[in-house]
Structure 1
Amino acid sequence: MTIKFDLNDLQAFRAVAESGSFRRAAETIRITQPALSRRIDKLESALNVKLFERTTRQVSLTTVGRAFMPQVERMLDDLDLALMSIGDAGSSRMGTVTVACVPSAAYFFMPRAISGLHQRFPRIRIRLFDGSASHVSAAVASGDADFGVSFSGNLSPEVEFESLLQERYVIACRRDHPLARRKTVTWKEAYTHDYITLDKSSGNRLVLDRALADFTPDKPSICETRHVTTLIGLVEAGVGIAAVPSIAMPPDPHPLLAAVPLREPEVARNVGILKRRGRTLTPAALELEKLLRETRLDSAGD
C-alpha cells in the first residue's frame, strides 16, 4: 500500500497541533488557511484516520493524533538535523523549544537568548516554563521540557547537570537601609535586622539551610514567601532585607535596591543546564542552548 503525503503535510500537521488553530498555523508556515486545510485533509485521507477534533472555538488532537505527534516531531527533527549537516537551513528552520527554568535564571539568562534565537530563526517558537527547582527537574526528567536551567542539588536520577556559572548569595536591601553602604556583611549581622525569607518549598531555601546548618538567627523572619521575585518586591517596598542569589537582583545601579555580598560563610550555588540522560536535543533546542552558553560568556565579561 502506498501512502500519499509529503513533508509539507507533516509540517502543517505539527503547526496545527502546536498552535491549536488553523489560522495561527497558516500564519506560522506562511500559507493560506484553505491551503493548510487541504494539507490536513490530504494527510487524514492518506492515513485513513481523523487527526483533529474541530469545533467553531478550538482544534484539538484526537487520540490517534496525539499518538502520531511524537513520530512526526521525530521525523521533522531528523530532517532538520540532516539539513544542518549539509548547509544553512536557518531561514526555514521551524519547531518549538520548551525550556523549564527557575525564575531567577529566567530573568538573568533567557531574555537575551530568546531574543537572539528569534532574530536568527524567526519561525522557531519558545515555550518558557518558569517554576521551582524541583518542578524544573521533574519537567526535564519526564520529557515535558527539552532542557532546563536551574541549580545543582536534589536532581532526579534521570537528569544530568552541566554548570554555566557559580553565583554567590547577597543581601538585598533598599539603598536607604544601613547595610546598603557596607562592602560585605556577615549572616549574623544581617539577621539582626528585620528580614524576609523563602519557605521550605523553595530550592533556594534548601541551599541555604544546608549551607547554614550551624547558624541560627537571633530572631525569626517577619515574612516567608515562595518565590525570589516576590521576595525582592517586598524588599523594595521596605518590608525588610533578604538573602537572594546575585543573578536575581535587578541590574545595578538600581534606584531603590542595593546588593551586599554575604560572608561567614560565603554561600554560592552552581547554575547550569539540565538534560535528560540519553536524550538528543532537537535542532531548535540546540540553537537555544548555544545562545545560553554565549549569554553566560558575555555576562562573564561584563
Structure 2
Amino acid sequence: MNINCEILDLRAFLLVVELASFHRAAESLNLSQPALSRRIQKLEGSIGAPLLERTTRHVAPTAVGGELVPLVRRMLEEFDGSLFAFRELGERRGGLVTIACLPTAAYYFLPSVIRQFDAQYPNIRFRILDLPATDGLQAVARGEVEFGVNIMGSSDPDLTFDRLIEDPFVLAARKEHPLASRDVLTWQDLVPYQLITVHRSSANRILLDASLTKSNLALRWSYEVTHLSTSLGLVEAGLGISVLPRMATPQGDHPFLVTRPIRDPEISRTIGVVRRRGASLSPPAERFMRMLIETWGDASTPRMAT
C-alpha cells in the first residue's frame, strides 16, 4: 500500500509538533493557516488516524502522532542530508547515520570504528542513541534508527540479529574483598556476601535470572539499582559485590576494583547488530555497519582487570 503525501506535509506536521502552534508553524513555512491545516488533514487521511489534538490554546501529538514524530524527523534529516550531499562538488558525499546502542556497547565498540570510518568518510555525521536494551530494540523496530547494537534475545520476527561478541558476566569487588584473592569463582561462592544487582526489568537481569534458574540457582540481592554504573559505585563504596557484564566493568588497572570470572555455569550475553528485516540501509549506514561487523565480529572480549 502506498502512502500519498508530500515532503512539505511531513515538514508541516513536524513543525506544528515542535512549535506546539499552528500559527507559528504557518508563519515559519510561509503558509496561511488554512493551507497548513489542509496539509495536516491530508497527512492524517493518508495515515488513517488523527495525528494532532487541537484545542483553542494547545496543540499536541496524539498517540499515533507521537510514534510518527521520530520517524518523520529521521526521514527528513536523511532527505535533507542527501540533497546537501549532492550539492557538494569535488568533495566526498555527506550523510547521517543514526543508530541505537547499549550504553556499555557504545563505549566499548563504537569509538575506534567511528575513528576509522571518519578517516575514510569525513563528511558523515552520527547520531547515537545510547538506550537500554528494550528501548533500543523498539527504536530499531519503529524505524527511529537504521540499526542497533544490542543483546540477542528478542523474538520479534521483524528484526534480524548479526552476532558480534560474547560478553560474560563477572564478579566486581573491591581489591581487599575476600573473593578478590580467588582466580575463578562459582555462583555458590557469592552466597555469603551482600550482592548488588540491577532491577529485574533490566534485560541483563532477565538473562541472568533465566540462566541461573536452569541450573537451579538464584541470586539473593541486598541492593537493587537501575543502572550498571550505579552498582559499580556501590561496590567501590564497599557496600557489597556485584555481577556485571565484563564490558560494563572498568578496563585496565582500576585503583579500587577487580573483576573475576564466574563458572558453573559460565553465563554471557551475546552482543550483535539488530536490523529491521528486509529494510534497506542508507549507503553510509551500510558501510559503517559492515565496518563494525568486520572489526568486532567474533572478537574476544577485553582482558579483565587484575
Q: TM-score, normalised to structure 2's length?
A: 0.68
1:73 positional shift: 3.6
Cα shift readout 1:164-209 (whole Å, capped 9, x = no counterpart): 0112111011222121221111111113211101112210001011
2:239 aligned partner, one-letter code: V
- RMSD over aligned Cα, in angstroms? 3.5
Query: Mapping of 1:3-14 within 5 angstroms?
Result: none
Counterpart pick for 1:70 among 71, 75, 78: 75
Against the structure 1 CA distance between its residues 71 and 100, is the aligned structure 2 distance closer, same or farther, given a 3 Å change threshold?
closer
1:92 positional shift: 2.0
1:162 corresponds in structure 2 to 162
Against the structure 1 CA distance between its residues 259 and 203, is the aligned structure 2 distance closer, same or farther, given a 3 Å change threshold?
same
1:140 aligned partner, one-letter code: V
Cα shift readout 1:7-48 (whole Å, capped 9, x = no counterpart): xxxxxx9xxx9xx9xxxxxxxxxxxxxxxxxxxxxxxxxxxx
Contact 2:102 2:136 in 1 (8 A): yes
Query: Mapping of 1:148-297 within 5 angstroms?
Result: 148-213=148-213, 214-217=216-219, 220-296=220-296
Aligned residues: percent identity? 35
State how far apart, in whole Å, the 1-side matches of 2:103 and 2:77 are: 32
Contact 1:180 1:258 in 2 (8 A): yes
Against the structure 1 CA distance between its residues 258 and 289, is the aligned structure 2 distance closer, same or farther, given a 3 Å change threshold?
same
Query: Mapping of 1:30-179 within 5 angstroms?
Result: 53=29, 70=75, 73=78, 91-179=91-179
1:108 positional shift: 1.1
Against the structure 1 CA distance between its residues 236 and 52, is the aligned structure 2 distance closer, same or farther, given a 3 Å change threshold?
farther
Partner SS for 1:92: coil
Gaps of 5+ in 1: 1-12, 21-49, 55-61, 83-88
Partner SS for 2:300: helix
Against the structure 1 CA distance between its residues 70 and 103, is the aligned structure 2 distance closer, same or farther, given a 3 Å change threshold?
closer
1:246 positional shift: 1.2
Q: TM-score, normalised to structure 1's length?
A: 0.69
State how far apart, in whole Å, the 2-side matches of 1:151 and 1:90 are: 41
State how far apart, in whole Å, the 2-side matches of 1:216 and 1:301 are: 26
Gaps of 5+ in 2: 1-10, 19-25, 31-38, 44-68
